[in-house]
Chain A
Amino acid sequence: AQRVTQPEKLLSVFKGAPVELKCNYSYSGSPELFWYVQYSRQRLQLLLRHISRESIKGFTADLNKGETSFHLKKPFAQEEDSAMYYCALKGRGGGNKLTFGTGTQLKVEL
């Protein structure tokens, strides 16, 4: 079974402060990990994926297989980063299904 855990429902930081949204996963194999973002009144959209190893909007995430984690980080939070963030896992095979975490609401305060 595949499972994604996001321990924080809400994370509130001040503008300019570092951000770390935690994500841990459980999967007996080699997964693909993703971060999706949902801005207010907008649809879910892909933010980044671990295989791309890229930085999007200043966000990065490194897959740590030893700790089974895929935390999302940004050194300096911006007000426009306020949104709901979902970590998701896609197992190999099995129809490429995505399993989502429960999400973390990021609130960046001025």
Chain B
Amino acid sequence: GAVVSQHPSRVICKSGTSVKIECRSLDFQATTMFWYRQFPKQSLMLMATSNEGSKATYEQGVEKDKFLINHASLTLSTLTVTSAHPEDSSFYICSARDQTNEQFFGPGTRLTVL
């Protein structure tokens, strides 16, 4: 099946710094990627839909200036958490949709903000 990678798998940063997370579709092109956030023992919450070549669509309550999304190519989307604070600590998961409309998920990135 299709493979989606995320980098880094784990990141620790200081409060106030920015962190970039990459999501790549390794063997297929994805015009649409999705970014989710998962709190411990809770479900995946969709943050935004990333569309190649256009602006991301953010879910209600998600600050677009806080969580910058760039989908510059058909195989790469990035999520930048700007001016991170401890409450941004979470597990961030991306998925990429292939031409059959199926979503394939990345392994996730654990962000810890000190």
Enumerate chain A interface residues (CB-CB to B < 8 A).
9, 42-46, 86, 95-103
Contact = CB atoms under 8 A, between A and B. Distances in A.
Given A96-B97, A97-B46, A99-B46, A43 B107 contact: yes
B43 A45 contact: no
Overall SS of chain B's interface: strand
A101 B43 CA distance: 6
A44 B46 contact: no
**Contact residue range for chain B?**
20 to 34
B3 to A, nearest CB: 10
Contacts, number: 38
Given A43-B106, A44-B105, A98 B46 contact: yes
A96 B95 CA distance: 13
Given A43-B106, A43-B107, A95 B57 contact: yes
18 contacts: A9-B41, A43-B4, A43-B93, A43-B106, A43-B107, A44-B105, A45-B105, A46-B102, A95-B32, A98-B34, A98-B46, A99-B46, A100-B43, A100-B44, A101-B43, A102-B42, A102-B43, A103-B43
